[in-house]
Structure 1
Amino acid sequence: MTAHPAVIGCIGGIDTSGGAGLARDAITVAGLHGQCWQVPTLVSQQSHQYHHATYALDCQVLAQALSILVDALPAAIKLGAIANDAQAQCILDQLTAIPATVPVIWDPVQISSAHGRLGQLSQSLINTLLTRCTLVTPNLPELGLLSGQSDSTLALSWLRANGPQYLLVKGGHAQHAQATDILYSPAHTWHFAGPRVPDIDMRGSGCITATAIACFMAKGYNCEDAVCLAKAVLSESYHTARPVAATQALAPAPHWPENADYFPVTQRNTALASSATGFGPLDQPYFGLYPVVDSIDWLQRVLAAGVSIAQLRIKATNPDILHQQVHQAVALGRKYQSQVFINDHWQLAIEAGAYGVHLGQDDLTTADLAAIANARLRLGVSTHGYAELCRVLPLMPSYIALGHVYPTSTKRMPSQPQGPARLAAYQALCGSIPTVAIGGIGPAQIPSVRAAGVHNVAVVSAITRAANPPAAIAQLQEALANVQRA
């Protein structure tokens, strides 16, 4: 039997024109394969251009509707317009019955696009709501309303200190060439930039963004990946919107984002300094098996077994030992005519004339990418989701590692296993850039990895923990050859 779609609880206003509010929430949830459970807080009597009146729902009726929503076991909650303090308190009371693991996303709209006031909340209730939310998604005017600060810098500082776990400040109102949304998380500040679509005033853009994020987080995506996906949904909505009034447009129902043209360019903390010269291509882009080993001894063993590419992930910290091992690795690569990548130590890799260097997301921030490119080294990068992938695509690296696909005990991972379905989606975004799947892959997993469109697999423990490593390499290569022939 097919699993039921995730329930997304949408709490907010009814826009009688259908352009925003719960109507837009329901369209978005349905397009992204969820089930929208609606709880109205108010009715905004309006057209696409003019607001006439706002009528708040009675709190007793609201409480009843919220209790029914709680019984439906929602996978995520999206809050929209809240009319008054009594409603806000009612919502807070009911949210206590929902597990803290269920994400709560608040689009804090208080003024409609037709310039009508939808609600008025006291600062004390706003403060309490903020601390219960996983993510709040204000635009620049709403940033000041939430914080009670007229200065945007002070407002941002106050919200980061007193607000939710994640704060997404939308950049639609900023006067910049690109529409850049900024996500403030406990660990990083992410920028999601996309081109503006001129001459289109699309209704319900805030509803689409927050509701799409709720849908993606309900499916297990972390916050930055959910925002990245939602940004792609919104970008495509702008490009496919149809006019409904002299200056306004409505988006059709969205679908799961797949077109790379609509995905944002992302930035984590600081921009990556790419080089105009780019990074060299692999000699063998479809290399198949990619062993990742942690010693010179293991590197020699896998190269002697006939692999065409390998990575040395050195654990030593002594500078003299590092220097020696990097130079030994480069010599082994030349001896066996193999593509040997050095993990992390890009300065030593340049000095030794290595074939390539592999960098993780943290190392990308500190590495001199221009120096790596100018030294004619190839560059491989690690990614663990949509946000990280969109961060590295503009670099045009020599290959992109996608993972971790399956559970792995090789190293402690901050992300959840991606699985073959997500792997296929990431692969599609990479275009002509070679990719390699990594994480928990053995002979049994190779067919599903290949079905996802990825030709190459990186392995660690499937070789290094095997009773007979040469036989394990042969088995993995045979499994890759079998799916290639199929």
Structure 2
Amino acid sequence: MQNSKIPRGLYGITPEWDDIDKLIKAVYEASKGGMQILQLRRKKTSYDTIKKQAVELIKVCADLDVKLIINDFWKLALELGADGFHLGLEDCSIKDIEEKVKTGLIVGTSCYNDIERAKILVESGVDYIAFGAVFPSITKPLAPHVSLNILKTARSMININTPYSIVAIGGITVDKIPQIIESDIDNIAVINGLFESENIFNTAQKYSSAFNSTKKQNHDE
């Protein structure tokens, strides 16, 4: 069952840009094209830069009605009033996550292809779980492969009455969306395919349209 705190659709993840003006412009374009969620994910810069970008993006995303998730820095998300935070597989224990769920913010985490861990995390109260790489990814070339069957299993084996969302990530292009949607996921997460495209608005629109039309078609069937 999808978590109502997480809007379905395109989930953008920031590229490694220090230029905040460039990033804000890109976020506006992606939002106009249909992006519903943005994750501030920076792995190659200073904490001060991350904090400065977070301050600006919180204001921008509030204006655009886009959910802002901060990767790794959950205390920063709390301090600044972001919508939520994302924790990697190695970032904390299940017990730690259970405590962080109590913050009331959106809590997301990565599982790669670990179904059993996903089940435990959902029971711990996280709002969404990201599986990937569904396809080969230049961002995480060594990430475990996640088959479409794993996505289907994740949806079916976890308590249907538990409100959580499934996010697919890794090498997702517009033409691959129909086969992913068959797995009953809620969101597609994209970094380079969105923000490194020549026309971010058009690309976001294509992703969103493909996602929404395929979802509707599957629902009607």
Q: TM-score range by the shorter chain?
A: 0.7 to 0.9
User: Any residues of structure 2 matched to 1:279-298 within 5 Å, and which?
Assistant: 282-283=4-5, 285-294=6-15, 295=17, 296=20, 297=23, 298=26
Structure 1 equivalent of residue 197 of structure 2: 466
TM-score calculated relative to the size of structure 1: 0.39
> How far apart in 1 are the matches of 2:99 and 2:151?
31
Deviations 1:106-153 (A, max 9, x none): xxxxxxxxxxxxxxxxxxxxxxxxxxxxxxxxxxxxxxxxxxxxxxxx
Structure 1 unaligned regions, length at least 5: 1-280
Does residue 390 of the first structure (1) align with residue 113 of the second (2)? no
Quote the residue 2:186 is aligned against.
455
CA distance in structure 1 between the aligned counterparts of 2:49 and 2:170, rounded to whole angstroms: 28
Which residue does the alignment assign to 1:361?
89
Contact map agreement 1:361 1:388 (CA 8 A) in 2: no
Q: What do residues 186-206 of structure 1 show as CA deviations (whole Å, max 9, x unaligned)?
A: xxxxxxxxxxxxxxxxxxxxx
**Gap change, CA 1:282 and 1:293, over 3 Å in 2:** farther
2:200 pairs with 1:479: no
> Would you say the 8 A contact 1:358–1:379 is kept in 2?
yes
Helix, strand or coil: the match of 1:322?
Answer: helix
Match of 1:404 in 2: 133
Q: Which residue of 2 aligns with 1:116?
A: none
Q: 1:349 aligned to 2:77? A: yes
Structure 1 residue matching 2:90: 3-state secondary structure: helix
Gap change, CA 1:453 and 1:336, over 3 Å in 2? same
Cα 1:405/1:388, change in 2 over 3 Å:
same
One-letter code of the match for 2:141?
Answer: R
CA offsets, 1:432-475, max 9 Å, x none?
42111111111111111111111321112221232222111111
User: CA–CA distance in 1 between the matches of 2:120 and 2:169?
Assistant: 19
Q: Is the 8 A contact 2:12 2:189 kept in 1?
A: yes
Q: 1:325 aligns with which of 39, 53, 56?
A: 53
Superimposed CA distance per residue, residues 197-218 of structure 1 (whole angstroms, 9 cap, x where no aligned partner): xxxxxxxxxxxxxxxxxxxxxx
Partner residue in 2 for 1:429: 157
Q: Using the TM superposition, give the Cα deviation of residue 346 of structure 1 relative to its aligned residue in structure 2, in angstroms.
A: 0.8
Contact 1:312 1:343 in 2 (8 A): yes
Higher relative contact order (CA 8 A, sep 6+): 2
CA distance in 1, matches of 2:192, 2:50: 23
1:395 is matched by which residue type in structure 2? S
Aligned residues: 204
Q: 1:422 to 1:374 in 2, by over 3 A?
A: closer
Q: Runs of 5+ in structure 2 lacking a partner?
A: none
Larger Rg belongs to: 1
Cα deviation for residue 367 of structure 1 reads 9.4
For residues 319 and 448 of structure 1, the distance between their equivalents in structure 2, rounded to whole angstroms, comes to 38
After TM superposition, give the deviation of residue 368 of structure 1 in Å. Answer: 5.1
Where does 1:24-63 land on structure 2 (aligned, <5 Å)?
none
Q: Which structure dedicates a bigger proportion of its chain to helix?
A: 2
Q: Alignment identity in percent?
A: 26
